[in-house]
């Protein structure tokens, strides 16, 4: 959520940054409502002060001998009653204005960082570096869904029977490979200093609002109609909201968490895209990295987060590239974002496998996550960051394609062999 004081004091600068997102975001309704609210607050304050003055004056006059039932006292009481009536009208109106402002603020995205490249869409993202070019082969390989079905480890047809399209049934070595990837990723991040949590995968609306999935992305989430619960689209939601409405001591920062959860997304608006394979499923597994840090450290923490995600790809020897997303492509809540894209040889292209975002205080304002520095009065909002470490299904797809052998088997990456207890699938 954007800082209302920032909008009030620097409306032109805030509008300029919002315009960089290549969207239609208008601050004027917020500015107008804020002005009306402050005018109401001023009127209410003046009326309250006058009401207190009248009450004090009545007491003083009666104390000096004025007739409690006299005209002078009656006139003061009538004015006091009129003020009470006006206040009873102003207070709910002020409350309504503030609620409207809050709703409008929830619809506004985060401000892109000044260093975020300008651009209208993904075609203008900036490639920063590539890793593992020597592992890229120009030989023809089968798409991961074909080799997976040939090996009997991916079953899409029966998954459709059980659920619907965009689900998969992992069988035998496929299920074992999924578990191995999850365990390997968690073990790697725990060794890097992250504390593992296993949070609920059903989350309430307040939690989704706190991390900015609601109200913007309601159509992309699965809701339980009988309860105020949703299937989590990412572990970012429950893990970040563990600290909602809390004041954290500065000695507890930085907070690093890693979490494995199944994730659920409708993939609204993606009809026809990646309809085959593991790239765009309604249900998928993911290891998420979440950080809650002090503002002055968040840039360095962001770079470290990206490195933690890259470490998984490097250990698996999967070729990838790093993109810095432009202002027209960064997520709704992000101020700055880097994507990792893994190489899929069957398609001859890189595909996103991790998105590492710095939200600054955007999520913390929505979720009311604050911290207190020793020796200082008051609190300030923390900065939150997260990134996939990694998306499991997409990692499996990359393994099945990059590790295909001429005889139709899959060589198990060295890093996974201790988990799978085998060298070939």
Asked if 84 and 308 touch (Cβ cutoff 8 Å), the reply is no
388 is known as an active-site residue:
no
User: One of 20, 265, 351, 370 is an active-site residue; which one?
Assistant: 265
Q: Report which DSSP code applies to 343.
A: E
130 catalytic per annotation: no
Annotation marks residue 280 as catalytic: yes
Q: Among the options 355, 360, 370, 388, which is catalytic? A: 355
Q: Does the annotation count 158 as an active-site position? A: no
* CB proximity list for 335: less than 8 A, separation 6 or greater: 110, 111, 112, 113, 116, 357, 358, 359, 360, 362
Spatial strand order in the sheet of 247-249: 247-249, 370-372, 380-381
Report the alpha-carbon distance of residue 423 to residue 425 in Å, rounded: 7
Answer yes or no: 355 catalytic: yes
Length of the chain: 425
Contact 322, 299 (CB under 8 A): no
Cα diameter, the chain: 110
Q: Which residues contact 241 (CB under 8 A, 6 or more apart)?
A: 203, 206, 207, 210, 211, 367
Token representation of residue 132? 């593992």
Tokens representing 81? 């009653």
Looking at the annotation, which residues are catalytic? 265, 280, 352, 355, 394
């Amino acid at each position: 959520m954007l800082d209302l004081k920032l909008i009030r004091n620097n409306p032109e600068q805030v509008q300029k940054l919002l315009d960089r997102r290549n969207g239609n975001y208008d601050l004027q309704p917020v500015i107008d409502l804020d002005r009306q609210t402050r005018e109401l607050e001023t009127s209410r304050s003046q009326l309250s002060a006058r009401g207190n003055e009248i009450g004090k004056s009545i007491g003083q006059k009666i104390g000096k001998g004025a007739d409690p039932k006299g005209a002078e006292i009656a006139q003061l009481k009538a004015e006091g009653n009129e003020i009470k009536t006006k206040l009873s009208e102003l207070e709910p109106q002020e409350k309504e204005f503030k609620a409207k402002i809050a709703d409008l603020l929830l619809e506004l995205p985060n401000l892109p960082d000044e260093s975020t490249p300008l651009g209208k869409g993904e075609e203008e993202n900036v490639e920063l570096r590539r890793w593992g070019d020597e592992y890229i082969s120009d030989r023809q390989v089968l798409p991961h869904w074909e080799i997976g079905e040939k090996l009997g480890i991916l079953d899409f047809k029966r998954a459709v029977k059980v659920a619907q399209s965009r689900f998969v049934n992992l069988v035998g070595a496929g299920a074992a490979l999924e578990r191995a990837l999850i365990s390997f990723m968690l073990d790697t991040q725990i060794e890097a200093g992250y504390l593992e949590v296993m949070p609920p995968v059903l989350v309430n609306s307040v939690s989704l609002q706190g991390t900015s999935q609601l109200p913007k992305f309601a159509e992309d989430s699965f809701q339980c109609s009988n309860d105020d619960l949703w299937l989590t689209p990412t572990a970012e939601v429950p893990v970040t909201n563990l600290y909602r409405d809390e004041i954290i001591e500065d000695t507890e920062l930085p907070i690093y968490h890693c979490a494995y959860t199944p994730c659920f997304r409708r993939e609204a608006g993606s009809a026809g895209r990646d309809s085959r394979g593991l790239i765009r499923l309604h249900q998928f597994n993911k290891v998420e990295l979440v950080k809650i840090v002090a503002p002055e450290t968040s840039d360095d923490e962001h770079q470290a987060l990206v490195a933690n995600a890259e470490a998984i790809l490097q250990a698996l020897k999967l070729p990838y590239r790093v993109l810095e997303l432009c202002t027209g492509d960064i997520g709704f809540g992000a101020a700055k974002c880097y994507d990792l894209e893994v190489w899929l040889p069957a398609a001859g292209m890189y595909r996103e496998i991790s998105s590492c975002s710095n939200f600054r205080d955007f999520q913390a304002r929505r979720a009311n996550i604050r911290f207190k520095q020793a020796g200082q009065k008051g609190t300030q909002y923390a900065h939150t960051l997260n990134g996939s470490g990694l998306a499991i299904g997409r990692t499996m797809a990359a393994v099945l394609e990059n590790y295909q052998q001429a005889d139709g088997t899959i060589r198990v990456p060295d890093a996974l062999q201790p988990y799978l207890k085998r060298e070939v699938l």
